[in-house]
Amino acid sequence: MTICEILPNIYYVGVNDRLTRFFEGIWFIPNGISYNAYLIIDEKVTLVEGGAKAGFERELYNNISMVTSPEKIDYIVVNHSEPDHSGTLPFLLRIASNAKIVSSTMAKNILMNLYNIPADRFVTVKDGDIIELGEHKLRFFNTPGVHWPDTIMTYEERNKILFSGDAFGSYGTLDGGLFDDEVDIKFYLEEAKRYYSNIVGAYAYAVLNALKKLSGLEIRIIAPSHGPIWRREPSKIVSLYEKLSKYEAEDKVLIIYGSMYGFTRELAEYIAKKLVEEGVRVELHNAVNEHPSYALSKAWDSKIIIFGVPTYENIAFPPIYYIAYLLTIKKLKNRYYAIFGSSGWAGGGYKQIQKMLDQLGWEMVEPVIEIRGAVKKRDLEKVNELVKNIKRKLI
Ligand SMILES: Cc1cc2nc3c(=O)[nH]c(=O)nc-3n(C[C@H](O)[C@H](O)[C@H](O)COP(=O)(O)O)c2cc1C
Ligand SMILES: [Fe+2]
Ligand SMILES: [Fe+2]
């Protein structure tokens, strides 16, 4: 229970999920995740964010009960309809039998499909609409695509809080600390980057549009739907988002490799060694025993990504194919890539990866280093050439 009055009459009533291993059924969350929700006590009692994932009804109810009787809720603001926040809505609507959901029209339609909620339980809002709660006023901004197409953000005018939904969120439960000045900020910024690359990254243009729309707004606190509340330095998470959504990379090389018997791995290690000798920052990612969510996160701020891919049944080793495919659907742009890998006879599996990355608009750094079996002395000249060409791209 992390319940807390974050400002006079505004309470954090969110919950921690320490059991889900894969967020959205796919993204590894070894440190769990929080589903943040905020309760504003005024003439109109308002819950901002629909609640939490289904299964957290009891805990959410208990949290709200610490502040007021949950039956008294008048408004439930749904910034977007995804079930990690809306799963508890059917329960809340039964408990608070007069409560209305405040959402975009599109979120209303999605929620009606998800939970059979009758239309008269909704108040829909458009861009710029204001709802008066008494002393507090909520203003709504249309920010479609961050993260779902139905997304709005909610701004509380009195305290200048932006309830930003998934934007500016991060993986990781809130273990006592709730605010950026109470937690290990390095951990959450790293997890915010991974969250961005996994969840929001495919809609970078939507993030840029939203940032533009909010740029004139005085924001003292960013209260997202996952992870810490940003009150000391909201600019930290905003500038991270700016950087990520503009595809800005660091002078860093990421080597993503997979290897059945170690031949491609040995070459990966040798290439990494040579790059480090040349003063290049290198990260290594094993495609099999590290979750792909980390590969996306590391790729998002790497200028050059090298794929170490053995040939497997005439195609690319599937774990590498999967990561390249994820990078394609997450639409990571403006990157250089290189390829190496081992094969037994005909080889050529790497061509699949090459095709995918070319279609994504990435530029290849040559040469492709395809070895037969183990690395031979004669292959090393090609490594030197690749390292030289990579260095050129980093200057
Ligand atoms: C299940 C399996 C399928 C393979 N398919 C091919 C293939 O289609 N073409 C090829 O040239 N080599 C093939 N190979 C051979 C490997 O590519 C080769 O042994 C390579 O050196 C493995 O590198 P690694 O140890 O980095 O995985 C296959 C090997 C395995 C185990
Ligand atoms: Fe979402
Ligand atoms: Fe979410």
What is the per-residue pLDDT across 148-170, written as a single tens digit (0 to 9) for each?
Answer: 999 999 999 999 999 999 999 99
- 125 and 149, same domain (yes or no): yes
Which pLDDT score is estimated for 395? 78
Which pLDDT score is estimated for 160? 97
Q: Which of 12, 347, 10, 24 is nearest to 182 (CA)?
A: 12
Distance CA 217, CA 143 (A): 14
Domain span at 181: 4-245
Could you tell which of 256, 260, 263, 352 is best to mutate to test the pocket of ligand 1, judged by most ligand atoms within 8 Å of the CB? 260
User: Which residue's entry shows tokens 């894969």?
Assistant: 22
Pocket of ligand 1 from Cβ distances under 6 Å? 259-265, 310-314, 342-347, 373
Distance CA 194, CA 256 (A): 16
CA 273 to centroid of ligand 1, rounded, Å: 24
Burial 252-261 (b: 16+ CB within 10 A, else e): bbbbbbbbee
371 CA closest ligand 1 atom index: 21
Q: Give the Å distances, CA to CA, from 148 to 10, 20, 94.
A: 26, 21, 26
- Say if CB 121 and CB 74 are below 8 A apart: no
- 81 and 132, same domain (yes or no): yes
Which pLDDT score is estimated for 147? 86
315 CA closest ligand 1 atom index: 8
Percent of the chain residues past pLDDT 70, beyond the cut = 100
Query: Nearest residue CA, atom 4 of ligand 1?
Result: 312
Give the tens place of pLDDT for each residue, 273-298: 999 999 999 999 999 999 999 999 99
Please give the mean pLDDT across all residues of the chain.
Answer: 97
Work out the average pLDDT over 313-335. 97
346 CA closest ligand 1 atom index: 11
**Which tokens hold the place of 74?**
């008048």
- 31 and 160, same domain (yes or no): yes
Please provide residue 221's backbone torsions phi and psi, each rounded to the nearest 5 degrees. -135, 135
- 65 and 172, same domain (yes or no): yes
3-class secondary-structure state, position 227: coil
- 235 and 327, same domain (yes or no): no
CATH number at residue 137: 3.60.15.10
Any alpha helices (H) in 177-331, and if so which ranges?
185-195, 204-214, 234-245, 263-277, 292-300, 318-329
Q: Give the Å distances, CA to CA, from 162 to 42, 150, 154, 250, 356.
A: 18, 17, 6, 29, 39
Give the tens place of pLDDT for each residue, 68-88: 999 999 999 999 999 999 999
For residue 309, give the ligand nearest its CA: 1
CATH number at residue 360: 3.40.50.360
- 225 and 282, same domain (yes or no): no
- 159 and 307, same domain (yes or no): no
The residue out of 245, 262, 290 marking a domain boundary is 245
Which pLDDT score is estimated for 138? 98
Query: Nearest residue CA, atom 29 of ligand 1?
Result: 312
- 82 and 225, same domain (yes or no): yes
- 222 and 275, same domain (yes or no): no
pLDDT over threshold 90, residue 103: yes
The reported pTM is 0.96
Could you tell which of 312, 317, 340, 379 is best to mutate to test the pocket of ligand 1, judged by most ligand atoms within 8 Å of the CB? 312
- 237 and 384, same domain (yes or no): no
pLDDT over threshold 90, residue 42: yes
Angle (CA) 340 343 348, round 5°? 70
- 205 and 303, same domain (yes or no): no
Who surrounds ion ligand 3 at CB < 5 A? 84, 166, 225
Q: Which of 327, 357, 360 is nearest to 339 (CA)?
A: 357
Query: Nearest residue CA, atom 1 of ligand 1?
Result: 312
Residue 384 burial (CB count, 10 A): 11
How many structural domains does the chain have? 2
- 117 and 221, same domain (yes or no): yes
CA 144 to centroid of ligand 2, rounded, Å: 12
Give the tens place of pLDDT for each residue, 169-206: 999 999 999 999 999 999 999 999 999 999 999 999 99
Q: What region does 103 belong to: left with phi over 0, alpha with psi -120 to 50, or beta?
A: beta
Query: Nearest residue CA, atom 20 of ligand 1?
Result: 343
pLDDT over threshold 90, residue 309: yes
DSSP assignment of 149-194, as one string?
TT-EEEEETTTTEEEEETTT--SB---S--BTTTS-HHHHHHHHHH
Distance CA 163, CA 67 (A): 20
**Which tokens hold the place of 104?**
């975009």
265 CA closest ligand 1 atom index: 26
The residue out of 197, 228, 245 marking a domain boundary is 245
Could you tell which of 255, 311, 320, 376 is best to mutate to test the pocket of ligand 1, judged by most ligand atoms within 8 Å of the CB? 311
373 CA closest ligand 1 atom index: 21
261 CA closest ligand 1 atom index: 25
CA 258 to centroid of ligand 1, rounded, Å: 11
The residue out of 245, 266, 300 marking a domain boundary is 245
The H or E element containing residue 255 is strand 250-257
Distance CA 246, CA 238 (A): 12
- Say if CB 332 and CB 303 are below 8 A apart: no
Give the tens place of pLDDT for each residue, 236-280: 999 999 999 999 999 999 999 999 999 999 999 999 999 999 999
- Indicate the residue type of 42: D
- Say if CB 111 and CB 103 are below 8 A apart: yes
Distance CA 259, CA 280 (A): 23
